[in-house]
Amino acid sequence: MEQAAREAFAKWRGSADRVVIARAPGRVNLVGDHTDYNDGLVLPMILDRAVYVAARFSLDGAHHFWSENYREGVTYSPGQWPGVRPGHWASYIAGMIQELPPPGPIELLVMGDVPLGAGLSSSAALEMATGLALEALRGKSVPPLELAQIGQRVEHRYAGVKCGIMDQIVSRVGRTGHALFLDCHTLKWEHIPIQSEDIQFLVIDSRVRRQLATSKYNERRAECQKALEFMQASDAAITSLRYAGAHHVKEIKESVLQRRIRHVISENNRVEAACSTVIHSDWGTLGRIFSLSHESLQGDYEVSCEEMDFLAAHAELFPGVFGARMMGGGFGGCTINLARAGEGPAIAASVTAAYEDKYEQKPVAHIIGPGLEARRSYD
């Protein structure tokens, strides 16, 4: 795909001399959803699909971007802002440029095979790939954690999503064949090898995309903040929901907030347990953790939707499925399914057919191969 990006660039600008190519992968999350912005624990893994960026300095005084996927170009002058809405593909690139300004205007082409808007972190991948290219154009490297934080800031400032740090960190530092155990309070991580001979991870994209997903996501963050303020009124030492205990849940009178905290507490526990199941290749237990995580995201955190509930429940009817759950921010997007090796395609075919029957919409299934690590190459 690096070669394809180079060729597409040459077609777009007449030549691809002196381009820098960078790529960064999308991600799945084994478990640990809506915990990252509560200083909690997460266990994501990079995808075998990535966003590719080809970039070099521009000679005509303007920034030029081109998206191969959308077949759309954006041009603007340095020091200004392109006329695009927050969350538009070009807003992530312009945002990264704003945070890591190159010494002159640039030409940048983006393409990739991370499904867009499906909850597989195509935007974090775009931020990280752009960031890696900008490092080269600036002649100065940025520590991986810092680059991830810059990407997170771009989401907050230029896309209006108050996301946590999980997606950017795993896209930047995730390793092939490993899950990433990340503590979002200390910002320390560990690469956990996955012995995957006996299993397959299957992602099923419901193709449900809800406009309200961003506002609902931000609403959950605000609820967590409110819950924290309640707890701090009686326990000034508590700094985040990560450190909430069962007694805090009892003290809060509002049942919605009780459920939100309960999810964060139980999901953090599940991440710890999941980590040890991966280390011991205990897939039966990991599958049960998937199911419990889904229940909690559905009932306590209320970020699932009918279509994802259907996908997860239907997949779990198969003896070859250890467990299934909705994944990511919620309100649409993908489920992740842990299946016995070799059974993924049959399960995908059957779940897809049942879903299509019911919702007249064909979901897309991907069996995840070994992840593609972020990297940069020069001409």
Residues identified as active-site: 167
Which of 39, 127, 135, 167 is in the footprint of ligand GLA by CB under 6 A?
Answer: 167
Estimate the share of the chain in helix, then strand, then coil, as percent rounded to the nearest 5.
Answer: 45, 25, 35
Burial class (CB in 10 A: 0-12, 13-18, 19+), 103: exposed
Total residues contacting ligand GLA (rule CB under 6 A)? Answer: 10
Stretch that binds ligand GLA, among 160-168, 222-230, 348-356, 370-378 (CB under 6 A): 160-168
Identify which of residues 67 and 268 has a Cβ nearer to ligand GLA in the complex: 268
Interacting positions 36-75 with ligand GLA (CB under 6 A): 36-37
Q: Kindly state the smallest distance separating residue 259's Cβ from ligand GLA, in Å.
A: 16
Contacts of 80 (CB under 8 A, 6+ apart): none
Query: Where do we find the tokens 């900008």?
Result: 134
For 230, the token pair is 């309640």
- Confirm or reject binding of residue 151 to ligand GLA (CB under 6 A): no
Q: Kindly state the smallest distance separating residue 241's Cβ from ligand GLA, in Å.
A: 13
Q: Which amino acid is at 256?
A: V
Stretch that binds ligand GLA, among 76-84, 85-93, 162-170, 208-216 (CB under 6 A): 162-170
Of 352, 342, 261, 282, residue with least CA distance to 315: 352
- Confirm or reject binding of residue 166 to ligand GLA (CB under 6 A): yes
Identify which of residues 278 and 327 has a Cβ nearer to ligand GLA in the complex: 327
CB 30 within 8 A of CB 44: yes
* x/- letters, 319..338, toward ligand GLA (CB under 6 A): ---------xx---------
Stretch that binds ligand GLA, among 47-55, 140-148, 163-171, 360-368 (CB under 6 A): 163-171
Pairing between strand 106-112 and 63-67? parallel
Identify which of residues 33 and 99 has a Cβ nearer to ligand GLA in the complex: 33
Backbone Cα Rg of the chain: 21
Q: Where are the alpha helices (DSSP H) in 24-163?
A: 89-99, 122-138, 144-154
Bridge partners (DSSP) of residue 254 are none
Bridge partners (DSSP) of residue 73 are 66
Identify which of residues 13 and 88 has a Cβ nearer to ligand GLA in the complex: 88
- Confirm or reject binding of residue 33 to ligand GLA (CB under 6 A): yes
Stretch that binds ligand GLA, among 31-39, 109-117, 132-140, 275-283 (CB under 6 A): 31-39
Number of neighbours of residue 117 by Cβ within 10 angstroms: 15
Identify which of residues 37 and 355 has a Cβ nearer to ligand GLA in the complex: 37
CA distance 377 to 127: 17
Q: Catalog residues that contact ligand GLA under the rule CB under 6 A.
A: 33-34, 36-37, 163-164, 166-167, 328-329
